[in-house]
Amino acid sequence: MPSVRRGRTLSAAVVAVTAVLTGLLTGGPPSAAAQEPAPLAVDRFEGEVPFAAPPAEGLFTWGNAAESHPKLELRERADAPEGGTVLEGRYDIGGWGGFTHDFAFDRPAHDWTAYRGIRFWWYGQNTAPLPPGSGRRIAFEIKDGGANGEASELWTTSFTDDWEGWHLVEIPFSRFVYRTDYQPVGGIDQILGLDRMWGYAVTLPTGPGAFALDGVELYGAAEPALTTTVVTRSVVHPVDEGGSARVDVSVATTGSGPTGAPVTVTYATESGGGAEPGKDYRPVSGSLVFPAGTPSGTTRSFTVPTLEDGVAESAETIPVRLTVDGARAPAESPLVVVNAHGLPYLDSRLPVRKRVADLLSRMSLAEKAGQMTQAERNALRAPGDIAGYALGSLLSGGGSVPTPNTPEAWAAMVDAFQLRTRATRFQIPLIYGVDAVHGHNNVIGATVMPHNIGIGAGRDPELAARTGAVTAKEVRATGVPWDFAPCLCVTRDERWGRSYEAFGEDPALVTAMETVINGMQGARNGKDLARDDKVLTSAKHFVGDGGTTFGSSATGSYTIDQGVTEVTRAELEAVHLAPFAEAVKRGAGTVMPSYSSLDILGDGRGPVKMHANAEMINGVLKDRMGFEGFVISDWQAIDQIPGDYPSDVRTSVNAGLDMIMVPTNYQEFARTLTDEVGAGRIPTARIDDAVARILTQKFRLGLFEKPYADTTNLPSIGSAEHRAVAREAVAKSQVLLRNEGGVLPLKPSQKVYVAGSNADDLGNQAGGWTISWQGSSGRTTTGTTILEGMRGAAPGADIAFSKEASAPTEGYDVGVVVVGETPYAEGFGDVGNGNDLELTAADKAAVDKVCAAMPCAVLVVSGRPQLVGDRLAAVDALVASWLPGTEGDGVADVLYGRRPFTGQLPVSWPRSEAQLPLNVGDERYDPQYPYGWGLTTLTPVPSGGEPALRALGVAARALQSAGRGSSPEARKLVGAARLIVQKRIGQNVTAATAEPFAEADHLLLTGDLAGALGKLTEAYRAAG
């Protein structure tokens, strides 16, 4: 990460001059600033740089579409850090966009070799504020070599907008990496020469935003790292007692050229690391010489022999001092670690409980506190803090990824973190966690499943389990053993920005889909967790996050997320607690509380933050339900508990939290936790219980025996086999709401006119939590758009595409308009926080134009229902496509009849926003389409009317008497009855028909087969 200097200061040039003058006036030696070249201005934005278009010197914008070009202007500002004018910009980027300053088109390129890096003032927009590393990411690249700025070699890095107001961003040239995804001329020599520089470019984040930039300049003297650096293969070198550790030392040069001068590395083992010289190891010393002209990457080695004493003991460390002459030394000196050995907790033959008890008895309070601490990888002040604070866990938040973002890089990154734990006394492995909420969605090229709302629409528990198994296999292959999924929230108000993370509005549907837990973890007793294709799950968010009252949130501009759930105790039990009781039965390894507060009506307590709710966590989850795993907090969630930080820590831990997702301030958390225990405000028994729970899952995962990534299954990530499972899930998630005139399925012989914002946008159809936290439009990963799927399904068909339906519509047989939402995630997606349930004006116009010109099918790609009632009369077929993920082929499969439509609504589809919240079982229930609604294709509707329903009812009672009320046969029987009733209702859905129809699906999911048939019969009669 580039360094960011916080706080408004004088310009860097003034600082440097002041330092020089101070040294001269006091008679002291020249300061460091005097040894460096004066900063060199690149852009002052005082009017010296024109707005232009290449090929010409100047500032210009670019993007995937006209609307993605940022709007730039030079503006006078009293707070300008340098001069009186700054560059300001506003943007609303749908795919990709940014701006460039190209210079020197008609004269020699700039030479930057004398400088350490580039810096500039950036006006931060983080008003939330978000924690470090989670702000919006801005890419910054420089243009090196070649003929000009548009035919050069691109080197890139990035910074995150984590502050508010002006900050000086410094980026050493050593932080830039060769851009691997795009090079204008295919790359040149992959050497950052810096002697022929043609400019820089800024890539802005997707969505709307603003920025200000000032005082771009070069700073500092060139670092030795830009010519030659000494590196070690790793910092930590574990070795079994009696073995020899080999330490590899290499020279590396920028651009990979040979060294320009000789380099000498002197090494010597040192005492003070726990291992005793002559007893635990044989001291060594010497020199490694790399003559001038040595090829970059050349490696020399030395070994440190250890001695065997036959005594069981914890790990011991041997520091190695490196002294470098002629190059930049490594940031850290190597450590040789003699592995812990002979202790009972290391014996895999012992029962897990005995291993836990032995290890726990040996640990200090500080080591226990470390196990209870989870930090974000970007928040580590130094990699050595993993061992220094004995951290128990790291995570990657949404969009926190390695460079490059490949499966192999993920595995290497996690292994590098895991290696650091070898330098601790007991070598307790990290448990690394990610939000793989619909596939391994942070990783480019992974299989991205439909979001949970689509899985709920599929109504197929066996398929849900298979999607979980695919996700687990891809996640574990990258070295990650823990997934913060599944979300077992019951979405009761689709204005909630996380609604798509739920399987549906009915707790019975959510419970039915919890087969995904066993797909991910394997057996309920945890015996499969050590396999290379299984991960630990996290049932979230306990409890009631889907039931928050609109307008109750106190978090920033959120309207409903993180608000207050107001329920009776009976509603709490039936709706929100039921899915967690099932998760405990299925062996979920961890549970994550909700940010929200719980207000049980009538108990007199008022709202209680779930992270502070001992009654629910200790009392209900752990005691009553018998949950044996560990409870992990949500991101920085304990900070929302009323009171100061020590109060937050003791309240949450005493309430039953076992591990805290800090995620950035791990140093203060560890210190505070130990202080609270020392003061007696947190019982030692509570700490021991928490750590025992954490260690139990680490032993079950096999991390003590195999802490590093098993990359056997890396080739399966994004494989055809895995994508086939996702494709099936997509097809089954598609809900056919209307099909007048049998418009669907399409015929390959038809000429099809395709339009709409989501027809050909992979990012939009994947939604939030895809590659980045909030997701983004455009081709963000590998997959197939709906348009591409259609063309693949009917390769000989005439399929035209006009996103905004601007092309002529004459001559086509049928139109397909794919509309809906753009990506968002929690909070930011709340209705009222810049969002609503309406289609965009452009999508409405496309629907109107296409459906007026020809028979049409409208597909709504969204995470929640959209209000389309005012256009239904003009729409022949309407499909709820939800958020299908990367496999648009699955949508095409049902559009072209390769598979039948079989999906059912997982939530009620409202007529208006004013109806919300609207859920099955409500006293007043009058939706546009009821919960459970879903037409089919390729299957004839059974005939016979009410007599047929009576016959089905007799069969239902027989099945239920035989104890098969929840069997596949039962679902098939009710499915036949549902088709009869839907045909009778047609598009004339009324309150009288909707209420029993929706209740029927709820009853079927609870195993009341006879009751379901009775309700369907009631709906049939109400249809008249």
Active site residues: 634, 826
The type of residue at 461 is P
Cα 258 to the chain's mean position, in Å? 41
**Backbone phi, then psi, for 327, in 5-degree steps?**
-160, 175
DSSP state of 942: P
Report which of 479, 350, 457, 400 is spatially closest to residue 885, judged by C-alpha positions: 457
Please, are residues 653 and 321 in contact by the beta-carbon 8 Å criterion? no
The type of residue at 986 is G
Q: What is d(CA 788, CA 783) in angstroms, rounded to the nearest whole number?
A: 9
Report which of 1007, 1016, 871, 1018 is spatially closest to residue 932, judged by C-alpha positions: 1016
DSSP-based helix, strand, coil % in the chain, nearest 5:
30, 25, 45
**953's torsion region: left (phi>0), alpha (psi -120 to 50) or beta?**
alpha
Is 852 strand, coil or helix? helix
Q: Which residue has the tokens 């996702």?
A: 726
Q: What is d(CA 311, CA 275) in angstroms, rounded to the nearest whole number?
A: 13
Q: What is d(CA 861, CA 870) in angstroms, rounded to the nearest whole number?
A: 18
Q: What is d(CA 248, CA 320) in angstroms, rounded to the nearest whole number?
A: 12
Does a cis peptide bond (omega within 30 degrees of 0) precede residue 865? no
The type of residue at 550 is F
The type of residue at 709 is A
DSSP state of 487: B
The type of residue at 853 is A
> 670 exposed, middle or buried (CB, 10 Å; 0-12, 13-18, 19+)?
buried
Cβ neighbours for 849, distance < 8 A, ≥ 6 positions apart: 755, 805, 809
Q: Where are the beta strands (DSSP E) in 6-56?
A: 40-43
Does a cis peptide bond (omega within 30 degrees of 0) precede residue 283? no
Sheet (strand 590-593) strand order: 538-542, 590-593, 630-631
Output b/e per residue, 296-314; b: 16+ Cβ within 10 A. beeeeebebebeeeeeebb
Q: What is d(CA 501, CA 826) in angstroms, rounded to the nearest whole number?
A: 9
Please, are residues 850 and 856 in contact by the beta-carbon 8 Å criterion? yes
Residues facing 125 on adjacent strands: 164
Q: Measured between alpha carbons, how far apart are the two ends of the chain, in Å?
A: 67
